[in-house]
Amino acid sequence: MTRWITLYGARRDAGMSTAEYAVGTLAAAGLAALLYQILTSDTVAGLLRGMVERAFSGPV
């Protein structure tokens, strides 16, 4: 055990706590909700529709 501590140091806080997991989960859910709102907006849908129409109506 002493050799392990000498090589790697005494790490008392090696992982995330439950509160940190909760904050990370809330942040990820918030980002997902924001991206969903952006990607399903009329503006983005119109831009994507225009890109697809231009791609298929281009010169052959």
Return per-residue pLDDT of the chain as tens, 60 residues.
556 556 555 556 566 688 889 999 999 999 999 999 999 999 999 999 999 999 999 776
Residue 48 is predicted with a pLDDT of 92
Residue 53 is predicted with a pLDDT of 94
CA dihedral (26, 32, 38, 40) positive or negative = negative
Residue 59 is predicted with a pLDDT of 73
Query: What is this structure's pTM?
Result: 0.55
Q: How many C-beta atoms surround the C-beta of residue 52 within 10 A?
A: 10
Angle at CA 22, nearest 5°, toward 20 and 28? Answer: 100
